[in-house]
Structure 1
Amino acid sequence: MDLNADLGEGFGRWTLGDDEALLDIVTSANVACGFHAGDPSTMHRICAAAVTRSVAIGAQVGYRDLAGFGRRRIDYDPAELRDDILYQIGALEAFCRVAGGRVGYVKPHGALYNTAAVDEGQAGAVVAAVSSYGLPVLCQPGSVLARMAVAAGLEVVAEGFADRGYREDGTLMPRSEAGAVLHEPADVVARAVRMATEGSVEAGSGRAVAVPVSSICVHGDTTGAVELAARVRDGLVGAGLAVEPFVRPS
């Protein structure tokens, strides 16, 4: 089972999360590419640190929305969105190359992640951009993006969120709703282990929802993210799972 986190989400003088500590725990790093968060120096630093630790690097692509941290939906022209995503992947690839690594996969961020899960136009833009690189797509299982990526011949890696609430349809609860973000470590660990071993999660309604996943995400900006990630990793290992990246770092 892979364990991933969103990293490099600071900007300029502003920092968010403890990237170095998380890189000692996770197996895959979703690196912000400068549109919703991140900047060139941060990308350079994270790529170098990830390569040193043999952590897989993914392009965490998002809307051009630093002010909103990429969590506000934007209605893009599909061609423009495609090109914005290409731009972000290419920027991260440059820093990976300098560090002796490579971009191993792509994961949409925030509002783009949620919109591409249900909207064919934006999902198609993501697929068109990623197809140029032939990279795996890390996304929600059963989503429109997952379906369109498979149809385009891309590898899809199904992702579950240890620290997020779910709806009965398998989508994430909006952050504005109560219970959308889990903070209690025991609950986060139990959710991660259940997803990894049983392929299911308890929705906010209490109903069990199927979520067959190959990667578990702990958000780097969640309060206590380092402790949560460490405890999730320990929980997965304790359940008899090998914790390793789904794509080979290089």
Structure 2
Amino acid sequence: MQRHSSDLATCYVGVSFYRTASGQELHTAVAQVFNERGDGVVVRGGTAQISKSDRQPHLALSDARQLLLNALAEYRTKHGHQPARIVIHKSSNFTSGEINGFHEAADLRNIDHVDLLWIQRRGAPHLYRTGQLPPLRGTSAQLDARSLLLYTRGSVPYFHTYPGLYVPQPLLIRSVTPGTDLQTAGTDILALSKMNWNNAQLDERDPLTLRTAYRVGSILKHIPTEARIATRYAYYM
């Protein structure tokens, strides 16, 4: 990822969920991406619960706090210092307990800048472009103060076409943190959608934070809860 000299050192964290092989428990998988380098570290979270109100998986306050503390510990081990900014990409909405838990973890590590982003893969409105090709990759539309529509896949001028098999589906990015710069958030997500080094394709729909979390979860579900896991993402490719 390109960085300006004035940019803060940022830790990007993707939070998604997976069921154990027995299907009895719902756990959290985290794929952590370091700055512009794309080095991934895996952290396994606690047990999540399906909310009766929105039917989405969520963490308790204490589990959310511990999850981010563990992720920051891995970051410090890798870099020798804490980040100045944390960006959390989550596959479900944030509850008040999760918001408070993540902020408590950041406060314990004296990190002031925290962006919490819910990335929706379904239910986003579609945009249309004059002609036969779909919208350009990178097309965005801010729907309101906290919602951004973003095409991470789409037509690419360099190829003079859309290099895909199906109609591209946009992502709906919702911020739960007041003051989040949605254009910066969208730019980061667009860059992270091209950082899967284990892929010959130009881009992917999901940012690397969530893409790796999905894939890691499909492996972690076969590992006993009490067993130690490898933290390097290279082991999960």
Q: TM-score, normalised by structure 2?
A: 0.39
User: Whose Rg is larger?
Assistant: 2
Q: Which has the higher strand share?
A: 2
Q: TM-score, normalised by structure 1?
A: 0.38
